[in-house]
Each structure stands twice: as C-alpha cells, then as structure tokens.
Amino acid sequence: MNQAEFVNTVLPLKDKVFRLAKRLLISIDEAEDATQDLFLKLWKNKNKLSEYRSVEAFAMTMTKNYCLDQLKAKRSNNLSLVHSNYKDNNLSLERSIELKDCVSRVHQLMTDLPEKQKIIMQLRDIENFEFEEIGKILDLQPTAVRVALSRARKTIREQLIKQQNYGIS
C-alpha cells in the first residue's frame, strides 16, 4: 500500500479509532496518545495492510487490544462508555433535562456491564458496526455478539425500569 492509498484508506478511520479509545481509556489525552500510537503502527505496517479483507476491522481490533493492554497495565477498572451523539434543537427545557438525565443513567448502568458487553454496545449502538465486523474485532461468532448485545440491552432496560418504577439507584 503506497502513501496515497494509506491516506485514503486508513486516515478516514481516525475518528472511529479515537472514539473507541476514548470510550475505553476515558481520558482524552490517553485516547489521543493511543490513536497516534496506533496510526504509527499502521503506517509502519502499511505494506501488509492490503492482506486484510477489512482494514477498518483490523484497525478497530488493534485499538481494542491496545486499550485493553493499557488498562491492564494500569490495573484500572473504571471503563466508561459515553453516548453524546443525540441532539434535538426543538426540545423543551424540561424534556432536554429529562433526556440528559436518562442518558446519564444509561451511562452509569453501562459502566456496570461486563467488559465485553460494553465494547459490543459501543461498536454496535454508537459506532454502527455490523455483527460480523464486531465478531471479527472481538474474535466471536456473530451469534455470540447478538446474544451479548441483547443481554446488555436487557440488563440496562430492566435497571432503568426498576429505577423509574421504584426510584432505586
């Protein structure tokens, strides 16, 4: 892969790589460092990238593995996923506050999910990856990805209903 092909194929992935790194590492600075390190590794191995069917899946797999290695090295258990992509300018103040509160509760509930479910929710619901791509990234069958996503969503749904009905946090 030459320089032009690299720029056209790999550089458009930088935002996705950064968002996944930020979700896993929490810190913007660490996510920026991770993104830079990963793109340096991709650049050094640019001649081998054409061997992969999906450079995007390969880059996301590298990102996941790199971030998990960083977290293991720090012995950190405070993974976090954030969904701030939803915006509607026609909301009333009350509804806007309600939505922010709900997103905040979902964010908190997601922090309690098992690590694999967090990553699957991030990749599917926020990054819009297909089940097959997530399976390649996480080395799982697409069916296992669907099951884990379903369980994660069900857990969050049940906890939200519980909180809403009984005020339990």
Q: What 8-state DSSP symbol labels residue 53?
A: S
CATH topology of domain 1-78: Rna Polymerase Sigma Factor; Chain: A (1.10.1740)
Q: Per residue in 20-53, pLDDT tens?
A: 888 888 888 989 999 999 999 988 888 888 888 8
**Cα distance between residue 35 and residue 48, in whole Å:** 19
Please report which confidence band the pLDDT of residue 76 belongs to, taking 50, 70 and 90 as the band edges. Answer: very low
Cite the residue boundaries of each domain of the chain with CATH code 1.10.10.10.
Answer: 90-169
Region of 80 please: left (phi>0), alpha (psi -120 to 50) or beta. beta
Q: Which CATH class is domain 90-169?
A: mainly alpha
Query: What amino acid occupies position 161?
Result: I
The pLDDT value given to residue 79: 42
